[in-house]
Every structure is written in structure tokens, then in C-alpha cells.
Copies of this chain bind each other. A is one copy, B any other.
């Protein structure tokens, strides 16, 4: 058995190379940008009016307060010219600053009467209420770096830069496999010794939250059938996630079958709770993650191993979060303890409250947790207000 740290090291030294593809920018949300993007013109592209009002020559204000209105410069109109520098032009937010003017006095400071604008200020800075051409970026500047994660703000930048098609990293195909003859469909009435399939839906939902539409399958607990099902699945899916069949049970055929199929088992067993039998195997560009079948074990392994690994393959920077333990916890086994918690932000601090539960098979209380803290193996007492690495299962209502 290896430690959590060792397991993560092995994992991260096994990369999957993902292809790149062009997709319409509207569909690029939550993808990874696969190319640098440069400004196709200055930003703003012209001296841009930022308030509705009148454009004048600022120097004129020192000697006069009345300006005859020559016309209106609307947004989306070609740049106009103030003919007489003693006069003004009305200007709208987003319009080009007219030629022969250098500042905008907002309507709030102006009275307009019979074609004359009267200003109640004696002085007005040059370029006041003007967003000067090229302030934010110059044509040719690097605006978005390769490997950026496309969130709404970046998607909007892609639109502004005219990137109708965007080069992104293509997410891998993932198949989530349930095993276990005790499982029946959600639409079934289970017999007394059966339970309904649920982990695969939980993992599929977790992947959906990452923007990945995974497929699900239920594989049999019979060795031959399992082998042929896996062999076939590996042809069409780069990644298989298993819930169950990785432990020491008589029908936990997964490690054996993977071996027979030529996969190298790189991790099997980690000094942690829950999730001790966690398995990771590889053959060329195929990767198999085996999570123990208990709900907490599956979800914790997904978030502690699969998600950061996938994130790295998708070239995303995923900073490690941390949380503050809100109550003392004692845990005496010399293994990393992934403690289920409910988090609350208090005065800018992420407080983590332990969730009472009866162990990794307790799906009722698992659903109350929104994260887990990873308490290190070399301690037994974890004090209130101590800080530990935090992994979120999800990030709150919205």
C-alpha cells in the first residue's frame, strides 16, 4: 500500500494527450483554450465616450459656459467633427469621441435649452469621460493565453475579438461502469438482498458539472463477461471509471481482468479512509480508475484522484483549496482520513463542519456533505481551527 501523496505522484506522471479541435465560440464555455489569442485591433478601438452628455474642447470651459449644439454623435455612427470649437456635440455612451473635442460633460452637469448647452463647471479635465483608444490593449497584444479555462468573461473576450471558431482541448470519452450483482435498476423494486444502482449516476452528475457528458454501463460480476465488456469499452473510451469490484472479494475480478487485458496496474491500495482499495491502471492511451463501491469511497476517490488528474490533462490550473476544521476530530488509524464536511463561509473563512455518518456505505448522510477535508496520516487529534486541504464535491447552489 502506498500513501495518498505517492498515489498522486504516480497518477500525475501518467499523462493522456488530448487532441485539439475548433468549435464555435458559443459552445466553448468551460473548455480549455488551445491557442494564444491576440487583439485584432486596439481596445477600445477608438476614443470611446463613457457618459451620455456633450463633447467639447476642455480648454473652452475656462472662458465660457454656453455651447451651441451642432448635432448628435450616436453610438455606431461614423466619427463626426465639431465644426466650431466654441460649440459642442451631444454624444452617447459607446460613441466615438467627435473630432475637435477632447472631453465629455455628462448630462447631469448640463442644462439644455433651445439648442444651447449650459455647463455648471469651471474646469474639466482633458479626456474626462473618454475611454482612450488602446488603453486596455494595443492591436497585436496577447490577450488570452493558451490553456486558459473559458469562463463567461473569457467567452465574451473571444466574442469581442471575433474568434468565431475557437481552438480548444477536446475532453476525453469517459465510460462509468457499475459492477455488483446486488444492483438493480432505479425503476425496479429490489428484492430484500438487492439495492438500486446509484453511484454511476452520482459520478456521471459530477462529470456533468465538469462539462463532460459521460456514458454509463452496468457490467456483470462474471469474469469472462467482464473481460469482454472491458475489452470492448476500451476501444471506444479513453477512460473507464469503475465503481466496485476492486477489493479483496471473491468476485472482485477487476484487477485480474485488467492484467489479462495487458493493462499495467500502477496503483492498487492507498493508506486512506475511505477508498483504501483505489486502483489505477494504464495501457498506452487507455486509463482505468477503480473506485471502491461504497458511495463515499467512490465520490472521494473521484475528487481526490480522477478530477485533479483530468484537470491536469485538460491543462487547467486547479489551485488546492483549504478549509478550517470547525470541531475537534480524533481519528486513530495511521491513514489519511478524508473527513466529510459541510462548509460555510464566515467572515472570509471557509469553516468545515464534520458530517456525522455511519461510514462509507452511508449514502443518506453523504448527501449532506459538500466537501471533504484530508486529515494527514501522522496525527490522531485534529484540533478545532486547524487548516487542512479541502476538496469540494460541488460549489453551492449556484
On A, residues with C-beta under 8 Å from B are 25-26, 29-30, 43-46, 48, 50, 52, 72, 74-79, 90, 92-96, 106-108, 131, 135-137, 143-144, 149, 151-157, 159-164, 180-183, 186-199, 201-206, 208-210, 221, 244, 247-252, 293-295, 299, 307, 311, 316-319, 321-324, 344-351, 357-370, 387, 390, 393-398
Whether the Cβ atoms of A250 and B92 lie closer than 8 Å is yes
- A152-B393, A201-B26 known; A196 vs B159 contact (CB < 8 Å): yes
CA distance A337 to B307 in the complex (A): 36
Residues of chain B contacted by A151 (CB below 8 angstroms): 205, 367, 370, 393-394
A250: min CB distance to chain B, Å? 6
Residues of chain B contacted by A72 (CB below 8 angstroms): 250
CA distance A153 to B300 in the complex (A): 11
Residues of chain B contacted by A208 (CB below 8 angstroms): 29
Whether the Cβ atoms of A152 and B206 lie closer than 8 Å is yes
Whether the Cβ atoms of B367 and A154 lie closer than 8 Å is yes
CA distance A365 to B44 in the complex (A): 12
- Number of copies of this kind of chain in the complex: 2
Whether the Cβ atoms of A358 and B131 lie closer than 8 Å is yes
A sample of 9 cross-chain residue pairs with beta-carbon separation below 8 angstroms, ordered by A number, consists of A43-B362, A50-B361, A92-B249, A94-B182, A131-B358, A153-B394, A162-B196, A209-B398, A322-B345
Whether the Cβ atoms of A250 and B205 lie closer than 8 Å is no
CA distance A91 to B31 in the complex (A): 45
Which residue of B has the minimal Cβ distance to A298? B156
Whether the Cβ atoms of B365 and A136 lie closer than 8 Å is yes
Taking chain A's interface residues, is the majority helix, strand, or loop, or is none over half, making it mixed? loop
A181: min CB distance to chain B, Å? 3
Residues of chain B contacted by A192 (CB below 8 angstroms): 45-46, 78-79, 96
Most chain B beta carbons < 10 A, residue from A153, A154, A322, A369: A153
A17: min CB distance to chain B, Å? 19
Whether the Cβ atoms of B76 and A194 lie closer than 8 Å is yes
Whether the Cβ atoms of B251 and A156 lie closer than 8 Å is no
Residues of chain B contacted by A194 (CB below 8 angstroms): 76
Residues of chain B contacted by A181 (CB below 8 angstroms): 74-77
CA distance A197 to B25 in the complex (A): 13
Whether the Cβ atoms of A152 and B350 lie closer than 8 Å is no
Which residue of B has the minimal Cβ distance to A199? B156
Residues of chain B contacted by A251 (CB below 8 angstroms): 74-75, 92
Residues of chain B contacted by A44 (CB below 8 angstroms): 195, 361
Q: Out of B198, B250, B307, B364, which one reaches A143, CB within 8 Å? A: B364
Residues of chain B contacted by A157 (CB below 8 angstroms): 198, 363-364, 367
CA distance A318 to B202 in the complex (A): 22
Which residue of B has the minimal Cβ distance to A369? B153
Instruction: For the A-B complex with A43-B364, A210-B398, A322-B345 known, give 11 more contacts whose Cβ atoms are closer than 8 Å.
Output: A29-B208, A52-B250, A75-B251, A78-B191, A79-B192, A93-B294, A136-B362, A160-B195, A311-B397, A318-B396, A324-B348
A226: min CB distance to chain B, Å? 14
